[in-house]
Amino acid sequence: MTRPTIPTDSIRIFCPGTIANVSCGFDVLGVALAGVGDHMLISKSNNKGVRITKITGQDLPLDIYKNVAGVAALALLGHLHSEAGFEIEIHKKIKAGSGIGSSAASSAGAVWGINYLLGSPLSPEQLIPFAMEGERLASGVAHADNVAPALLGGFTLVRSSQPLDVVTLPSPSELYATVIHPQIEIKTADSRRILKTNIALTDGITQWGNLGALVAGLFKEDYPLIGRSLEDVIIEPIRSILIPGFDTIKKAALEAGALGCGISGSGPSVFAFSQGKQTAQKVAQAIKAAYEPFDIPFELHLSKINPQGVCLDNA
């Protein structure tokens, strides 16, 4: 990862979608997608502060105090005691409330882009806390589950939020994600509320055994091990109730050869991991065929793992 040293005055960047709560990694494990994401245009301005000049693709506020990108940008500039000015255009491809990190993409993109234009005084790791301020606006909690993979790329594990301790993990080269986004609304707050505050110790043991094995599988590029470890005995049985057709999607994905399948973030999106693009495509077709009878509009994404996080467009 080389840091640019000669900033230009305006950059166009790609801000990846992300899957948080990857199966057994509830609240700790996230991953960045290569084929799903927003674009942002960030430019230096002679007027101090931050302005959001344009948003396409979604109906979101231009008010910098009500937009996650604005809030994250201000947090960064405040930390840097910067007198610089910036204009931001946001071109949303990730729908808000999809469960694939729409707010994180904007928050991460804003701080990454501004940091770049300032000559990269901070590393991507150091940008995470400012992007988290955008998440605080979006969900009430300054969590790093999505902004960490959005900024660092690949799989990231948030070992601790307070103090922040993010561990980067390898991205097996043949791993593909198939993501279905049923166009229904699930509020993150609601999907949190239905969780139990206590869990059985035996389920906890199963969960951390799976997470430890999943991390090992990523390092070893052991796809069958990754598949066996993609099991969530605690959150999925509860949250999947909020996603019509979840069991049907999962069954179709696994039968088509997916390594594993689970809820993306707090839903309603559902992801499946596969080894190889061909299998991921088969999985996409199987999910499509299985979900059409549900009469719920949906989008399907097929994506490699994004190893780098936010980046210059066409870089």
Q: Is 173 in the site for its own copies (CB under 8 A)?
A: no
Build a one-symbol-per-residue string for 129-168: x at contacts with its own copies by CB under 8 A, - elsewhere.
Answer: ----------------------------xxxx----x-x-
Q: Which of 188, 231, 236, 279 is catalytic?
A: 188
Per CB under 8 A, the list member of 141, 189, 194, 195 interacting with its own copies is: 195
Q: Is 210 in the site for its own copies (CB under 8 A)?
A: yes
Q: Is 264 in the site for its own copies (CB under 8 A)?
A: no
Q: Which two tokens stand for residue 59?
A: 């109906």
Q: Is 226 in the site for its own copies (CB under 8 A)?
A: no
Per CB under 8 A, the list member of 141, 189, 194, 216 interacting with its own copies is: 216
- Taking residue 302's Cβ as centre, other Cβ atoms within 10 Å add up to 18
Active site residue 231: no
Antiparallel, parallel or unpaired: β 49-56 and 85-91: parallel
Q: Which stretch binds its own copies (CB under 8 A): 94-102, 194-202, 261-269, 272-280?
A: 194-202
Q: State which H helix or E strand residue 34 sits in.
A: strand 29-45
Positive or negative CA dihedral for 185, 177, 55, 296? negative
Instruction: Name the residue among 213, 215, 247 with its Cα closest to residue 228.
Output: 213
Q: Is 66 in the site for its own copies (CB under 8 A)?
A: no
Per CB under 8 A, the list member of 19, 23, 26, 113 interacting with its own copies is: 26
Q: Is 3 in the site for its own copies (CB under 8 A)?
A: no
Task: Give the whole-angstrom CA distance, residue 148 versus residue 154.
Answer: 9
Instruction: Name the residue among 161, 275, 178 with its Cα closest to residue 218.
Output: 275
Task: Give the whole-angstrom CA distance, residue 196 versus residue 288.
Answer: 32
Rg (CA), the chain: 19
Q: Is 225 in the site for its own copies (CB under 8 A)?
A: yes
Q: Is 194 in the site for its own copies (CB under 8 A)?
A: no
Render the burial of 252-276: b for 16+ CB within 10 Å, e for the rest.
bbbebbbbbbbbbbbbbbbbbbbbe
Residue 124 or 217: the one with the smaller Cβ distance to its own copies is 217
Residue 89 or 222: the one with the smaller Cβ distance to its own copies is 222
Q: Is 213 in the site for its own copies (CB under 8 A)?
A: yes
Q: Which two tokens stand for residue 244?
A: 């019509």
Q: Is 169 in the site for its own copies (CB under 8 A)?
A: yes
Q: How far is the CB of 241 from its own copies (least distance, A)?
A: 17
Active site residue 135: yes
Per CB under 8 A, the list member of 211, 256, 259, 305 interacting with its own copies is: 211
Cβ(233)–Cβ(207) below 8 Å: yes
Residues marked active site are found at 135, 188
